[in-house]
Amino acid sequence: MKTARRRTLAAVVLSVICVGPLSAQTVPHDDDTRTQYPWLLRNSFFSVSLGGIDYEFSSQQLSPGEQVGTVLTPHPAARIGLFGHEFNRFLSAQATYMRPASFVAYDNVNGDQGRHHVWMALGAVTVKGRVPLTSRLDVYGEGGLGITSRHGFSAGRTDVVPDVHYASGVFGTGADYRLTHSWDLVGGMLWAPGRSTDKQSPTFMTSMGFQYTMRPLATERARLNAQSGFRFPVNVIQIETTGGYGYGVNTFFAKSVPIFWDGNVRVDRGEAIHVVRNVFHTARVFGFDVGASGSVWRSQADRSSFYTVSVYPQFRFVFLRTGPADVWAVYSLAGPTYISRSMIDGQALGTRFTFQDFMGVGMFVGATRRVSLGVKINHYSNGNMFTQNAAVTVPITFNMGYAF
């Protein structure tokens, strides 16, 4: 079985290499076209907004015969624009993800003196139409398809608050104010209908935040960035391994400094290979990459073997450049992934579609910066877009690669 999985991983890697037009050598600086956004990213955007979410949770969601002491419904929430594209000043489309900062809590259910959480999330793909009021201020309306997902909880074999998962229309309105050529201040409201048969109330969110649009750079600026003399490798191939140690790092960044996530399924060991291509970079610090990976893992509790195949975006920040090495940090979010098992260590992951996230640090070393060394932590989760989402946590991995 191990040999078969490793052959599968090798086949995935070879396919990625064959499909991707990998250059045989680093592009000379004078001919480096990666300092201009590629056509797919031009006028594309992402956004982050914070605000308040409103929905009704009470004893009405309980199954017949169940009782609850108190129900706490926190309202702070975030809406993330994962990817959008502006077709012109008047029309754009976007995929967004919305969830509360803290989940609804049911306390003292049937006198158990415990706390039980109900997870909620809303994903949406919407079309956004703008009407300019001034050269900087637009009002907009948006509408599209939304997925509402509610993960309840059980007591024994009884669903105290049942799971709910359904598709519906979503609608919103708001305003955009252009601060600079690329940055907008955005504020708005979004509404998703409830479903009475599942005792799910409508969801309403108001928020305000920022949107960054990748406008095409001026030709002179792109040329100067290309001639800066700082290296950004075109391609990187990395091998990665973990021995199941270092979970304290995952816990630290999930709880003490909450910029990453934990999970219920822990990995005991694993190997992976990543193929990464840089598609855009600034003069010195920032690079945007696209990558693909194939991984084989073994879980900690039941020693279950499984594999993942992912494609993903990657943000690279080269924060220190010295003679011996260029030191960087990477962060990747919501890379679409196929996972070979939907149940691991008795934990339900949802479906075989999930997302890959990782963060790490490393360096390119040597006079030509051909060698890549780094450490990462990984996470697989469907973001509560399905009613089951145990999530997989991968502890510290060590990677070594070749850049060209």
8 A C-beta contact, residue 135 and residue 177: no
**Amino acid sitting at position 165:** H
Query: Average model confidence (pLDDT) for the chain?
Result: 92
φ, ψ dihedrals at 257, nearest 5°: -120, 90
Q: Is the confidence at residue 285, as pLDDT, over 70?
A: yes
Question: What integer pLDDT is reported at residue 158 of this predicted model?
Answer: 84
Cβ neighbours around 322 below 10 Å, total:
9
Model pLDDT for residues 262-284, shown as the tens digit of each residue: 999 999 999 999 999 999 999 99
Which CATH number does 2-38+219-403 carry?
2.40.160.20
Q: Is the confidence at residue 8, as pLDDT, over 50?
A: no
Question: What integer pLDDT is reported at residue 162 of this predicted model?
Answer: 95
Model pLDDT for residues 64-120, shown as the tens digit of each residue: 999 999 999 999 999 999 999 999 999 999 999 999 999 999 999 999 999 999 999
CA distance 99 to 287: 29
Question: What integer pLDDT is reported at residue 207 of this predicted model?
Answer: 97
Q: Is the confidence at residue 2, as pLDDT, over 80?
A: no
Name the band, by pLDDT with cuts 50, 70 and 90, for residue 323: very high
Q: Where are the domains of the chain?
A: 2-38+219-403, 44-213
What is the rounded average pLDDT of the residues 294-306?
97
Question: What integer pLDDT is reported at residue 155 of this predicted model?
Answer: 83
Q: Do domains 2-38+219-403 and 44-213 have the same CATH topology?
A: yes
**Amino acid sitting at position 278:** N
The domain at 44-213 falls in which architecture? Beta Barrel (2.40)
Instruction: Give Cα separations from 293 to 24, 181, 206, 240, 273 (angstroms).
Output: 20, 35, 37, 10, 6
Cβ neighbours around 237 below 10 Å, total:
18
What is the rounded average pLDDT of the residues 215-224?
94
Question: What integer pLDDT is reported at residue 29 of this predicted model?
Answer: 54
Model pLDDT for residues 125-162, shown as the tens digit of each residue: 999 999 999 999 999 999 999 999 999 999 877 899 99
Q: Is the confidence at residue 221, as pLDDT, over 70?
A: yes
Residue with tokens 């339900």: 348
Model pLDDT for residues 16-65, shown as the tens digit of each residue: 434 333 333 344 455 789 999 999 899 999 999 999 999 999 999 999 99
